[in-house]
Structures are given as C-alpha cells and as structure tokens.
Amino acid sequence: MTAEPIRVLVVEDHNVVRQGLVALLNVAGGLEVVGEAADGVEAIAQYRKLQPDITLIDLRMPRMSGVDVIERIRMETPQARFIVLTTYDGDEDIYRALKAGARAYLLKGMTSEELISTIRTVHEGKSHIPPAIAERLAERMGAQDLTPREFDVLEQIVYGKSNREIAAELEVSEATVKTHINSLLGKLGVTDRTQAATAAIQRGIVPLESLKRPKS
C-alpha cells in the first residue's frame, strides 16, 4: 500500500520564489503542494480550508507576519506544523518564530535536499534547527528582554528621533528617555544610539518593514 503524500501549504509573498518552491516540492516524491498563499491573511484562510500536514511559511509578508499567522493558527489548531523559510537570520526573528510554535527554521540559501528532508522530519513530529540557527538562538536566550517601554524608545531611535522628540512622542520626560536608553544599551551590549539602531535591525528586534511607516 502506497503511503499518502505529505500535504504542503506554501506561504510566500514573492511570486517567483513561491512558484519555484511549488515546482520543487511537487517533483520531490512523497510530497504534494495542496495550496499557496501570498500574504498572511490568505495563509490563514487557506490553512482553514485545506488543513495541510505542513505549512512552509516566510516571516515578512503583507497584511500579517509569519509569526502572527503561526500564533493565530496554532490557537485554533495546536497540532499545526510550521517550517519557517526566510532570508532573516536575526536572533529575535528566530526566537519569535520558534516561540510561536514553528518546528523548523531554514534560511533560503539551504539546499533542496535539506528543505525536503526537513519537511519529512517535521511531518514525523520532530524539529529541525540547523547548527548556525541554534547558535543564534542560544545567544538570544542568554540576553535580557527589553521592557515594552524600552522597546518603544529603541523603535524611535531606529526612526532617527532625538531624545526630545522621543519624549514628546511617548509623553515622558527627557530624563526618563535617557534612563531607558542607558538600560537598553546595556541589554543590547552596545555603547551608543547608532550601534543600538544597527543591532535592532540586524537582530530583527525592530522589523525592517516598520521603517516604511515611521511614527510621526
């Protein structure tokens, strides 16, 4: 008796990349792409309709992020199995995705063999975290979390705001802003605002897409 193919939903906003993944998986043997989605909202609708065995999902997408999609679907279907496939290797991106419930985290530079092997591994109920990703995750796990207010201040720093502008935006004193900055610099392991902004972007603490819509 022939085993049923592993049913895969591919969620990727770049059409060429998505079509390439679909073509690759459909000829792999033992896999079947049952659906596609180009954004987070469509991904949820497709998941509910198709109930795939595995969802291959990018992190940064229009309308809803990959992490938000994973969290939403797993609230409804706790056994849902996700594999993140992305270009982002920031430790905060990795941490958020795995915390949301992703079973594997792959970068788009991986080989087709690793992708197919990972799908099969996750389908068996196991997880797959490549060594380089595990190392970044270990770094994140050893770091201190920013408080919500420290995150707000860091976000404003990334937008290029001065202490005075941050104080006005957050409706606090400049002295309070300076206190938050000193604290977040220590937690990020950096010495100045420029390094803090760079770390925030590289590590995925402040998502790049948020820079397209800075607060006034």
Which range in 94-98, 119-123, 129-133, 197-201 is most confidently predicted, on average pLDDT?
A: 119-123
pLDDT tens string 109-127: 888 999 999 999 999 999 8
Q: Read out DSSP for 26-43?
A: HTSSSEEEEEEESSHHHH
Whole-prediction pTM value? 0.70
pLDDT at 86 over 50: yes
**Quick check: 6 and 31 in contact, CB under 8 A?**
yes
In the chain, where are the structural domains located?
Answer: 6-140, 148-212
Q: What is the overall mean pLDDT for the chain?
A: 86
pLDDT tens string 127-150: 888 887 777 777 665 556 788 898
The architecture (CATH level 2) of 148-212 comes to Orthogonal Bundle (1.10)
Class of domain 6-140: alpha beta
Q: Is 171 left (phi over 0), alpha (psi -120 to 50) or beta?
A: left
The DSSP element (H or E) to which 86 belongs, if any, is: strand 82-86
HSE toward the beta carbon, residue 83, CA cutoff 13 A: 29
